[in-house]
Amino acid sequence: MGKARLACHADALDPTGTAMSAAHPNPVVLLHGLGATYYEDLNYLELFLQQKGYCTFSLTYGAFPAFPYVGGLKKISDSSQEIGTFIRAVQQQTAASKIDIVGHSEGAFQSLYVPKFTGVASIIDKIVAIAPPTHGTTFGGIYDLAYVGGNVTRQLNSVILNTVGCGACDDLGPGGSAVIRLNDGKPIKQPGNTLTVIASQDDELVTPTYTAFVNETGVNNLYIQTTCPNDRVGHVGEAYDTNVWNLIVNALDPVHAAPFACSSGCPGK
């Protein structure tokens, strides 16, 4: 397992130091995007959730020993096992009955993939997936080059990406093995799980943007711009956008969901 941390706001600790909160009893596991780590990408969101009284856990998954500061590179199937083990460890440490997951980009894809394929769905409650490449992404059109010569060049591209150490890049492209497996005709949202997918109409990496959504009964798919029309945030910025953060909090605690004043959004793409 990669590097990880338990980071609970003081208000979320009972006298024994157990990671519990009366208002928010579910610990929240945060999953970073491709090329990121547990201390970047979702780190500001994590602090925001702690200030709201949530107990949060995060890890760097999918990193190679020689490059511990770059996560999310290994194949989706390999990283998913690492994440599933981490989620079980969180439950054991906290004695919580359910765990919530918030993921961004590749981490959002993993938030869909892990419950379906690693056997942890029964201990998962709410999932908030920010800009997941659910149906594969062209990475802003770059991946289209892999198909210049049809399936032959697509297969060559796959070999190259896996050789240079980015199996996840291959897995998440159009026709990637993880994308095909996730969309195998069986439900992505697992029984007992609540799923919210948040996307931006200005996402320049998960393209077309609607491919982020999980088109199944009971899934809450929403564009940021439906709530905050003037927020033109891009893919990376979605992790740092306060409008997104407020949508996440409402998804994690729908009983107390509240309107919020929209900001102009994160300027970063």
pLDDT digits (tens, 9 = 90+) for 164-181: 367 888 888 888 999 999
Say yes or no to pLDDT of 159 above 60: no
Could you read off the pLDDT of 118-134 as tens digits, one per residue? Answer: 999 999 999 999 999 99
Q: Indicate the pLDDT class of residue 89, thresholds 50, 70 and 90.
A: very high
The pLDDT of 17-42, averaged and rounded, is: 84
Q: Indicate the pLDDT class of residue 65, thresholds 50, 70 and 90.
A: confident
**Looking at residue 186, which CATH number applies to its domain?**
3.40.50.1820
Could you read off the pLDDT of 179-208 as tens digits, one per residue? Answer: 999 999 999 999 999 999 999 999 998 988
Peptide bond between residue 132 and the one before it cis (omega within 30 degrees of 0): no
In whole angstroms, give the CA distance from residue 111 to residue 179. 13
Structure tokens of 229? Answer: 């029309």
Cα maximum dimension of the chain: 63
Amino acid 90: pLDDT: 93
Amino acid 4: pLDDT: 56
DSSP string over 134-175: TT---TTTGGGGGGTTTHHHHHHHHHHHHHTT-HHHHHHSTT
Q: 82: domain range?
A: 4-256
Amino acid 143: pLDDT: 42
- In a domain, residue 215? The reply is yes
Amino acid 66: pLDDT: 83
- In a domain, residue 197? The reply is yes
Element (H or E) spanning 33, and its range? Answer: none
Residues 6+ apart with CB under 8 A from 56: 7, 8, 27, 28, 29, 30, 46, 49, 50
- In a domain, residue 269? The reply is no
Domain tally, the chain: 1
The pLDDT of 11-19, averaged and rounded, is: 43
Say yes or no to pLDDT of 218 above 70: yes
Query: Over the chain, what is the mean pLDDT?
Result: 84
For the sheet containing 55-59, what is the strand order?
Answer: 4-8, 55-59, 28-31, 99-104, 124-130, 194-199, 220-223
At position 183, the amino acid (one-letter code) is N
- In a domain, residue 268? The reply is no
Q: Indicate the pLDDT class of residue 137, thresholds 50, 70 and 90.
A: confident
Residues 6+ apart with CB under 8 A from 226: none
- Give percent of the chain with pLDDT exceeding 90: 66
